Structure 1
Amino acid sequence: MPDQKQILSTLKEYFGYDSFRPLQEDIVNSIFNGYDNVVIMPTGGGKSICYQLPALLLPGITLVISPLIALMKDQVDGLKANGIQAAFVNSSQNENEQQEIYQKLLNKDIRLLYVAPESLSFLDSLLSQIEISLIAIDEAHCISSWGHDFRPAYTQLGYLKSRFPDTPLIALTATADKATRQDICQQLNITNATQFLASFDRKNLSLEVRPGNKRIEQIINFLENKPNDSGIIYCLSRKTTEMLAEKLQGQGFIAEAYHAGIPHEKRAKVQESFINDSVQIVCATIAFGMGIDKSNVRWVIHYNLPKNIEGYYQEIGRAGRDGLPSATLLFHSYADVVQLQKFATTSGNQEVQMAKLDRMKQYADSLSCRRKILLSYFGELIEEDCGNCDVCKNPPSFIDGTIIAQKALSTVARIKEEEPIGTVIDVLRGAQNAIVLDKGYQRIKTYGIASDISWRDWQQYIIQLINQGYIEIAFHLNNKLKLTKLSKKVLFENEKVHLANLTELEKIKEKTVLQTKKVSSNTLFDKLRELRLNLAKEAGIPAYQIFNDATLKEMEKVRPMSDDEFMQISGVGKMKMQNYGYQFIKTIIDFSAEKTKKKKTNKNKGNSHKETLNLYKQGFSIEEIAQERKLAQSTVFSHIMKLYNDGEDIDLKQFVSNTDINSIKKAKETLGNPDTLKPYFEHFEQAMDYNTIKLALAVLEERN
């Protein structure tokens, strides 16, 4: 087992972190001790490091079972960006590509291998020829029919423990209630596994629920102070995703639809554009998001009520994975409940699905702290209200709703409990539509008795009465409203009913909207984000794989202006420093100089390049200049490139060998002259760094 110093130095070198998050260190040590583990850790809590770090220090290969092709590719790209040898095998590759990976595995050139459960059988003979030190099963809830995203192929994974009894196995998921956790352990044959349950409390996510009226108008208002932030809008139907994307495009937003009916190539393009920050908003069915690791999603909206709390929690968990404040907004309506009810009746385990839908509805209708409800569902109890949900921010005042309740309950009784909520409200408000007139409801005593209350407010009041147990919905009888035993106490025994004051709630919400401030778009964070996007396009990788928003925010706060200071930033590892350090430091220095207008800063900045130029003219190499000036070689290299681009007489050929230049020339022809550096980087299997590639390309361009 490696010592703690080695573990922490590996964490910093490859992942850029100086310390572990809660539970990570215990999980890593448990793996090194050879134990099986079940890890329940919210999205963004750092599950991946729990097996990726041990993979670097264990002697053999770490086998990772992952459910989606996009998820594998994203993980592998991120690992490679950190200088870690990883690969995936799935149906998207041809035979030659797979054979190349198999050979690397036999040569021990790969540390982590990602595989879909369906592809495992094809690797059977290969698994006998390589040393497997760790097996990781990601999205482990897929193995359980109690889970919200059941995958039949996962149920065959139990044989792995029988085949590799001495290899530690780690099962990981972001969402699993008690029944699902037990099922995972039994089906994977790891009944003695150590269970690690991280807190489900994502404090950085604000929680808000609104009635589903004028949703598009509300969404556009919600986005007013988020002009550049990425977000996802989840919808129940494909048609809604397309309609919504079109409406948002009409308002000037860069939005795209995503659902299973869109051709695979277009779906892949939408996902890639979203990951690379060239599409701001994706309007999607629940098929979207599981396969991405984008850390800077700043908000998630649910256009419709989700079917269960697990799915809702996982989907809102795609926001704020970098730990920065992020917003979630859920719309819900009675129509959503009816639609989800129909879905549940056609599912294999109707009773379970119905119970979970009821819990979801209770969450949406709640007039108490939403985070308490969410956390209690996963068995985590908190005493204090969260202060970061709409109920906590704007606690409702209550009115004496006894007369309102009596009017509603009396109407339900007089129409003999034969109608759904909409017709009950129409009778109360004195509507003259076909249903009311054909059935003679205009002749009952309570017809039009409460026309002074709006249709929407009546809907809210009746939902409150349902939540308080005075009325129930008979889903199996076309959603007719039925009276309960409690309703008799209100009608005949003068029991008092307290209802939330909807008028006050509306005023508070309007006030909140008016107080919303526009976000400044000329901050250092914006400059760093712009630089990150340009570097990402150049390298052909997603922007967040260079640095996530939390790392940029720390740079904005700390303002590192030297290599040593930059290395102290959380998320900056050895390879990231080498490839990107100079550009970010320069941007920070330039921004500070511009803001403070200190001549000294500008002078030093200009002198820095001149000093490098003077040493170059004296015949010093990049290594010697770096040593003389106590700078990183990447910083000196950037000076040289800038001096060259500014027209100084620099002979780039002395900094790059003819062998490397010729190698790049051949690669350029083979790859078809790509626009970014990433294809070259991958072509040489990371053996040639980005700086050398840039130099060689510049020399070739000069020759032309």
Structure 2
Amino acid sequence: MRINLFKILHDIFGFETFRGVQESVIDRVMASQRTLAVMPTGAGKSLCYQLPAVAMEGCCVVVSPLIALMHDQLRSARALGIRAASLTSVDEDWRETQGQLLAGDLDLLYVAPERASNEGFRALLERARICLFAIDEAHCVSEWGHDFRPDYRLLRPLLDRFPQVPRLALTATADAHTRQDILAQLGIPDDGLIISGFDRPNIRYVVEPRDGPGRQIGDILASNPGPGIIYTQTRAATEKLAASLGAKGRPVLPYHAGLAPEVRARNQAAFITSEDMVMVATVAFGMGIDKPDVRFVVHAGLPKSIESYYQESGRAGRDGSPAVATLLWGAEDFVRARQRITEVEQARQQGERARIAALGALVETAGCRRAVLLRHFGEDPPQICGNCDNCLSPPASIDATTTAQKLLSAVYRTGQSFGLTHIEAVLTGKSNDKIIQRHHDKLTVYGIVGHDEAAMLKPVSRALLVRDALQTNEHGGLMLGPQARGYLRGEEAIALVLPPTRAKRGRRNNDINPADDPLFEALRACRRALAIEAGVPPYVIFHDSTLREMAEQRPRSATDLARITGVGERKREAYGQAFLDVIAEHVATA
């Protein structure tokens, strides 16, 4: 059986060896065991059920949360020669699909959780031969997960009706609490948990305070010519930013839940097939994105949790090639996030506060960003990763504890109702009508901050807002927060991280998007033409990494081509000669 699995791996998927924990996961599936696999995006989760589906007798039922994601995976599976179909509300060929299922003519059947929990669907499966249940994006089953879907919690009766059929849950984002909940909800034993780690070493993490976001985002686009996603926090911001960026010549489209369904579908389809488009979107542009060649992801505001950030930033570089994830944040993001806590039920408020604190640790650290992320998921990473902004350009930091005490004292002594501009004026000893009329020039904090220290007041106020030592009232005035006491007494210290210079921030990421050679560009042009002819996105033909390997190895025959990673039998037969011809022409004219 082992030889057969490796033969399938090479002939169908075009790989010589398994990656990471793939082999361990597949071994459990083939032994009819129940498994939860926590694997980072881009680690090859889909192969863990696609390969067994081809190797085993019967059909693998894949539960997936979004129709767009199902159809994208469907295209990719069919391109490999796998017999795959979906049963969704938009599939008009459902009778034919049901017939194929009952006749044993399907390897994979993709369904939504709403259908999977339906009694009629269960009855249909009892008439078919099922070899595996794969529950994709399994964190949706947990109330502790960041994308909870109630219908996922209704899957257990379906799974238990087929006790002999192995079940495989897959997710890229689940902390320890969420993992235990998934195991319990889906009936998977504790020893069925396989964790491959959360590290995405090809992604460079960059975190910056928002300081002219239009310019900052413009610099990012100039440095990254490939496809990218920019996440905004509101629909209005999405529309405004998409129009602004699009006016500069780059193909840019918006995506949010307020757009008509046909517009969203059209924009998403255009992005999926493009090799340079930028999508400006709210988080409505979510799990349905399975585009492997996204070269950058930008968060124009604070995500709702570390888990959300990990998943959303993880949409970059799924093909394993270098990518960059940039987070732009402001203190007001933390203020709004804490205000939203009051809108959730009491039982979840403590968890929400913990999520905000974790984001604060990420944006404020002077150390490795990747280490903060990985520690959140229970890992023990090295102190330096070598591929985040802080590791590549270690920032300077200064002790701002005394400045924080002065700022908090001024907020308190002026009555906890004034904004930062007035507080700064008092601390620096300015004289104006507002200060004189309110006798703030008589306070002990008046004029206690010198010129050099004054430059620290704004970043210190931002740091105190992040830490909940400062809060704002409904008019924007500053007041002491629940964490203020420790800073006022000097029991809590603040090491202020000094942001890099603008020149460093705007530097071009040449190592993220290096200049490609003419052969690679010719292979991309060939792929583009084949994709248009086949009506599929270019990456369904071959990933960029496969084309780069072709450009390096320059295969001259079908046998040589079979040694290129990602070139399986079906794709070699369908497209191989076209790429061999491009390589031969390039070699002849070089």
Q: Tell me whether 1:272 sits opposite 2:266 in the alignment.
A: no
Structure 1 residues 331, 427: closer, same or farther in 2, change over 3 A? farther
8 Å CA contact retained: 1:419, 1:481: no
Measure, in 2, the Cα distance between the counterparts of 1:435 and 1:525. Answer: 66
8 Å CA contact retained: 1:241, 1:284: yes
Residue identity over aligned pairs, in percent, reads 39
Aligned to 1:393: 392
Structure 1 residues 5, 560: closer, same or farther in 2, change over 3 A? same
Greater alpha carbon shift after TM alignment, 339-348 vs 33-42: 339-348
8 Å CA contact retained: 1:255, 1:279: no
Aligned to 2:60: 62
The secondary structure found in structure 2 opposite 1:331 is strand
Aligned to 2:588: 593
The secondary structure found in structure 2 opposite 1:187 is helix
Q: Scaled by the length of structure 1, what TM-score is found?
A: 0.77
8 Å CA contact retained: 1:38, 1:193: no
8 Å CA contact retained: 2:235, 2:282: yes
Q: Tell me whether 1:506 sits opposite 2:503 in the alignment.
A: no
Matched AA of 1:572: V
Matched AA of 2:577: Y
Measure, in 1, the Cα distance between the counterparts of 2:431 and 2:562. Answer: 72
Q: Tell me whether 1:170 sits opposite 2:168 in the alignment.
A: yes
Please show how residues 9-88 of structure 1 align to structure 2 within 5 Å: 9-88=7-86
Q: CA deviation at 1:496?
A: 8.4
Aligned to 1:487: 487
Measure, in 2, the Cα distance between the counterparts of 1:521 and 1:370. Answer: 29
Answer 1 or 2: higher relative contact order, Cα 8 Å, separation at least 6: 2
Greater alpha carbon shift after TM alignment, 453-462 vs 30-39: 453-462
Measure, in 2, the Cα distance between the counterparts of 1:481 and 1:53. Answer: 58
Aligned to 1:581: 576
Q: Tell me whether 1:253 sits opposite 2:217 in the alignment.
A: no
Aligned to 2:285: 288
Structure 1 residues 185, 409: closer, same or farther in 2, change over 3 A? same
Structure 1 residues 39, 420: closer, same or farther in 2, change over 3 A? farther
Q: Tell me whether 1:462 sits opposite 2:456 in the alignment.
A: no
What does the per-residue CA deviation read over 1:333-361, in whole Å, with 9 as the maximum and x for residues that have no partner?
01211222233322342221222122112
Q: CA deviation at 1:13?
A: 1.3
Matched AA of 1:510: A
CA RMSD in angstroms comes to 2.7
Measure, in 2, the Cα distance between the counterparts of 1:92 and 1:433. Answer: 66
Matched AA of 1:258: Y
Task: Give aligned pairs, total.
Answer: 581
Choose which of 86, 97, 102 in structure 2 pairs with 1:101. Answer: 97
What does the per-residue CA deviation read over 1:97-133, in whole Å, with 9 as the maximum and x for residues that have no partner?
2111111111111111111111121412211100111
8 Å CA contact retained: 2:405, 2:488: no
Q: Which has the larger radius of gyration?
A: 1
Choose which of 293, 309, 312 in structure 2 pairs with 1:312. Answer: 309
8 Å CA contact retained: 1:204, 1:325: yes
8 Å CA contact retained: 2:62, 2:108: yes
Measure, in 1, the Cα distance between the counterparts of 2:133 and 2:508. Answer: 51
Aligned to 2:550: 555
Q: CA deviation at 1:279?
A: 6.3
Greater alpha carbon shift after TM alignment, 514-523 vs 114-123: 514-523
8 Å CA contact retained: 1:185, 1:193: no
Measure, in 1, the Cα distance between the counterparts of 2:112 and 2:493. Answer: 58
Aligned to 1:231: 228
Measure, in 1, the Cα distance between the counterparts of 2:107 and 2:114. Answer: 21
8 Å CA contact retained: 1:241, 1:283: yes
8 Å CA contact retained: 2:53, 2:59: yes
Measure, in 2, the Cα distance between the counterparts of 1:496 and 1:295. Answer: 43
Matched AA of 2:162: F
Please show how residues 572-651 of structure 1 align to structure 2 within 5 Å: 572-595=567-590
Aligned to 2:238: 241
Structure 1 residues 251, 443: closer, same or farther in 2, change over 3 A? farther
Q: CA deviation at 1:296?
A: 0.3
What does the per-residue CA deviation read over 1:535-556, in whole Å, with 9 as the maximum and x for residues that have no partner?
1111100111111111112122
Aligned to 2:322: 325
8 Å CA contact retained: 1:13, 1:574: yes
Structure 1 residues 169, 368: closer, same or farther in 2, change over 3 A? same
Matched AA of 2:350: E
Q: Tell me whether 1:148 sits opposite 2:146 in the alignment.
A: yes
Greater alpha carbon shift after TM alignment, 138-147 vs 343-352: 343-352
Measure, in 2, the Cα distance between the counterparts of 1:295 and 1:307. Answer: 24
Matched AA of 2:500: E
Q: CA deviation at 1:586?
A: 2.0
Choose which of 531, 534, 542 in structure 1 pairs with 2:529. Answer: 534
Q: Tell me whether 1:206 sits opposite 2:201 in the alignment.
A: no
Measure, in 2, the Cα distance between the counterparts of 1:438 and 1:114. Answer: 70
Greater alpha carbon shift after TM alignment, 420-429 vs 404-413: 420-429
8 Å CA contact retained: 1:420, 1:480: no
Q: CA deviation at 1:532?
A: 1.3
Q: Scaled by the length of structure 2, what TM-score is found?
A: 0.92
Aligned to 1:181: 179
8 Å CA contact retained: 1:141, 1:149: yes
What does the per-residue CA deviation read over 1:301-323, in whole Å, with 9 as the maximum and x for residues that have no partner?
00001110000000011100111
Matched AA of 2:237: T
